[in-house]
Structure 1
Amino acid sequence: MTDTRTLSITVNGTQYTREIETRRTLADFLRLDLKLTGTHLGCEHGVCGACTVRVEGQAVRSCLMLAVQANGKSVATVEGLARDGNLSPLQNQFWEHHGLQCGFCTPGVLMTMEEFLEENPNPTEADVRDALSGNICRCTGYQSIVDAVLATAAQARGE
């Protein structure tokens, strides 16, 4: 017999209640149950960062967190960044600076950098590179990502 629990969770501002297996990860719940496939699964060991979402504002690896651990909490995924059909400032700068290529790592990088910029509105290039160190990208070489994050911070400061 499979152990299940009722999960009540808010994802990107929408409340969901589902009966789920207690062993289901948050990443699998988002992808399989809610069909929010922007959260990518890369390594499934918490190393690559592709599955990063924000739980109660904190960037977390959704492949390492059980969905039941998010019960009663608010989760933000990459699908929630755009508002009213408009890209977020960070997404727009990724577009402008060609901060993505294949796009596999991009959702996790965006979610990580959203939190980073909230905590550090005036980062240096070294700060951005340090914050990015938990997200693996095999395509871009990171410079375009760094440029996009720095441009977003400058734009937010009115520069």
Structure 2
Amino acid sequence: MGILTNKKHFLHEHLTFIESAGIDGKDGGFNKFLTDLGISNKGENWEIDHSSVDWNKSEKHYQFFFDYENNESEIMDWLKKSELSKSEFLYTWLDCNDPIVKVKTTDFIQNWNEFYIASVEGMILTTTDGKNYMEFTDDWKYHLNSNFEIKPNTKKIKTGYNNAYK
């Protein structure tokens, strides 16, 4: 039973809105959905960072380590001040048993860590127009990648994914 249909799932405590996009995410459905929004995601960086998004093809790329003690409030504050907060809704795919879902951006920002926990294997979120997108990796590096600045004064990764700043 997936998150969408299981009303007892812990994530529902943090949601004011969740809706199916009517598209199954498995069997390449989410990849096609992202591609249709203009987000390259062939997994060229999978071996480096367990990243599905091809960040080397993104015009902008920001990255930082997100899994540190007491990070919830700090990252929530950064998200509130980011470009992402200007969008009313986000699309994501949280569970292989669920379709792609649409959630309120404010719900995600307030509860980003719960969303990450619910996703199990990393998570990609995008605005409904595909203009802004982000990816939490599911490996030991715990990178939060985005095509917009989240952490203040984060330097843009300029010359490809392999040249990430320290």
- Normalised to the residue count of structure 2, the TM-score between the two structures is 0.28
Larger radius of gyration: 1
Provide TM-score, normalisation by structure 1: 0.28
